[in-house]
Amino acid sequence: MEFMSNIGGGLQADRPSLFELIAQDKMRELLEPALRYVLAVYAQRYPRYLIRIVNRYEEFYAILMFFVERHYLREYGASFAENFYGLKRVRAPRTVKVAKVNIDDESVAASVNTAAALNASVPGSNKLRNRDIYKSLLFLIGLPYVKCKLDEYYEKVSGGEAARLFGDEFTQEEEDLTGQPLSKKAKAMTIKLFKKGYPYLNAAYQIAILVHYIGYLYNKTPFYSPWLRLIGIEVKRMSAADYREIIQKSKSAPRRTSNSLIESVQNKVLGLLSGSLDFLKVLLPMSIFFFKFLEWWYQSDYYKKSSNTGDSAEVPPPERVKPHKDGLPLPREPNVCPICVKALTNPTALSSGYVYCYPCAYKYVEDHGRCPVTLIHCRTEDLRKIYSDAEL
């Protein structure tokens, strides 16, 4: 991890390539849907304990990553993904500006530049301070959380994917505000401006990132992200001295002694949490390897041959999911949609096993994220088309 190829990194050994930086960004982005999927699976088995976490997943994930990222920023000077790729965060050196330097004063300017370079080369002078850590947490966790909420709200007020698929049928109609109070008119005008302006704001957000990518690739800027430029932090490769410092720090860490039982338990809990957070560096690559191995195994000929040997018993059908007491009632006729209470058109089944009209099911799942009859968690990707004999 210490000596990765510096494709496009220039002559600076500690300057990571753009591909390494994008890879660690993508790794951080993949953690969120992976954890969401695991929680959704177990929430179906233990809804009493996990359904509230699934319903407020964005807040849960932000709080969880706050403690993880703060630990890694304090201990290793990098986020979790950056530390996994052997990177670190340092404070950008401040440029010293000398106003009105004459030709005869070149020696003065050279001495000022030399002093600035020596100050930047002092060991530990560019390490993250507490305020740098919290600035990093703001853009590592706060900014993605706010953008996620803005994206969700825009999908809601604009009609979402259903409006793009089925047209104006699922677009929210503008209310007649004649005679309404001023507060309601202001709210409606704000929503209208948000619907029109947010796509441009999102485009500017993506363009700013792309411009910094290109500038970093051609060595025009030391910041690959506009947010790092804003807080004055650069991302560098960890050197051998950094690894030796981390090892020495872990060996020379003083053991906390306590006289009371409460302090002793508290120290043990803190040590266990710190060790578990550090173990994520080992657990993550092991889990990726394990799942990739399972994916290869179930797609390989070895699994097919082993599964076809011998008389295999017939697998019984899964147990039927019972309707929830707070869900929609089932109609008496089997060919009637429980949502619109009309004859099924384009019948579609959810993962709960119940059948609805495709537009009704799509709109309901997109708005509520659950089956309308059983109230179990569902996604729009879970919709399955049902073909009759006539269509075949």
102-115: pLDDT as tens digits? 544 555 445 445 44
In a domain, 11, yes or no: no
Query: Are 237 and 331 part of one and the same domain?
Result: no
- DSSP H helical ranges for 220-320: 226-231, 240-251, 261-299, 301-308
Q: How far apart are CA 39 and CA 99, in angstroms?
A: 59
Per-residue model confidence (pLDDT) at position 242: 84
Query: Are 326 and 241 part of one and the same domain?
Result: no
Query: Are 245 and 380 part of one and the same domain?
Result: no
Answer whether 177's CB lies under 8 Å from 185's CB.
Answer: yes
Query: Are 102 and 249 part of one and the same domain?
Result: yes
- In percent, the amount of the chain with pLDDT more than 90 equals 21
Exposure string over 323-333, b if 16+ CB within 10 A, otherwise e: beeebbeeeee
Query: Are 187 and 82 part of one and the same domain?
Result: yes
Query: Are 231 and 365 part of one and the same domain?
Result: no
In a domain, 39, yes or no: yes
More confident residue, 248 or 308: 248
Task: Tell me the average pLDDT across 369-376.
Answer: 88
| CATH number of the domain that residue 342 is part of | 3.30.40.10
Query: In angstroms, what CA-CA distances link 301 with 97, 306, 307?
Result: 68, 9, 10
- Expressed as residue numbers, the domain containing 330 is 321-392
Per-residue model confidence (pLDDT) at position 49: 81
pTM value is 0.61
pLDDT tens, residue by residue, 130-181:
999 999 999 999 999 999 999 988 888 887 666 655 555 555 555 666 677 7
Query: Are 76 and 219 part of one and the same domain?
Result: yes
Query: Are 148 and 32 part of one and the same domain?
Result: yes
In a domain, 277, yes or no: no
- Give Cα 184 distance to the centre of its chain: 34
Which among 207, 229, 253 is the end of a domain? Answer: 253
Which among 253, 283, 306 is the end of a domain? Answer: 253
In a domain, 276, yes or no: no
Question: In total, how many domains does the chain have?
Answer: 2
Answer whether 85's CB lies under 8 Å from 29's CB.
Answer: no
Query: Are 241 and 103 part of one and the same domain?
Result: yes
Number of H helices, E strands in the chain: 14, 5
Query: Are 135 and 219 part of one and the same domain?
Result: yes
Per-residue model confidence (pLDDT) at position 103: 43
Q: What is the dihedral of CA 296, 283, 137, 271, to 10 degrees?
A: 170
In a domain, 275, yes or no: no
Tokens found for residue 241 = 């001295």
Cα separation of the two ends of the chain: 55
